[in-house]
Amino acid sequence: MCGRFALTISPTVLARLFQLADTPSLSPRYNIAPGQEVTAILNQEGQGRTCRLFSWGLIPTWAKDPAMGAKLINARAETVSEKPAFRESFKNKRCLIPADGFYEWHKKDKTSRPYFIRMQYNEPFAFAGLWQQWQSPDQQTRKTCAILTIHANSLLEPIHPRMPVIIPPENYDLWLDTTLSTTDRLQKLLHPYPPEKMNCFAVSPLVNSPQHDSPQCIEPVNPDTNHNTLFPS
């Protein structure tokens, strides 16, 4: 799954890398958690790519209770086109969710050790996201999102069996294209990211609490440890 991530780059860099029409107003965030607002990028007809803030945890249009969103922070890539909660969004409400890295916990015996996963050269990237607009009986509107996940690559598998789907820059336009009449081409984008392009390392248990949102969350607990020797026997 993907339950925490970070986005710390400047708004100017974000706008340049994702070719946004406008520069968003953002602050560095080191421990983004479900239920919080996340930055998402989508195509706005006639305006190009634009940033929006969505609550993390997708609420389907037919949901009677908005609390349902707390259970839908992730969508499995293998079944996203079939599940009633996600299939509409997969067809016409896709977004990119930018990040610097994400966290996962390695469970052994009765302990869990947090790890931070990022690109090999620390460059920002984008999760495959879905969004939806839900309206309450009293006409209040909430815009929410979920992150797609897939089985883990060889780097992440020792930590957790699943990982978020990462869309490479050359496929941004395709993922955001809402004019597609079929999702067959999209399904081909839903695969684990190449492990040789990623890196991971253990971080402080501070990240266990969403109340901690500081650079300390992404600092290696042992800066000299190679990512290939992170998993003690």
Q: Where are the beta strands (DSSP E) in 88-206?
A: 94-99, 101-108, 111-119, 125-135, 141-151, 162-164, 198-202
- Does the annotation mark 2 as catalytic? yes
Helices (H), 157-229: 172-176, 184-187
Report the alpha-carbon distance of residue 133 to residue 114 in Å, rounded. 33
Report the alpha-carbon distance of residue 41 to residue 227 in Å, rounded. 31
- Does the annotation mark 95 as catalytic? no
Report the alpha-carbon distance of residue 91 to residue 177 in Å, rounded. 10
CA atoms within a 13 Å half-sphere pointing along the CA-CB vector of 28: 14
Catalytic one among 37, 78, 82, 104?
104
Catalytic one among 2, 51, 95, 145?
2
The answer to whether 100 touches 172, Cβ cutoff 8 Å, is no
The answer to whether 65 touches 57, Cβ cutoff 8 Å, is no
| Active-site residue list | 2, 104
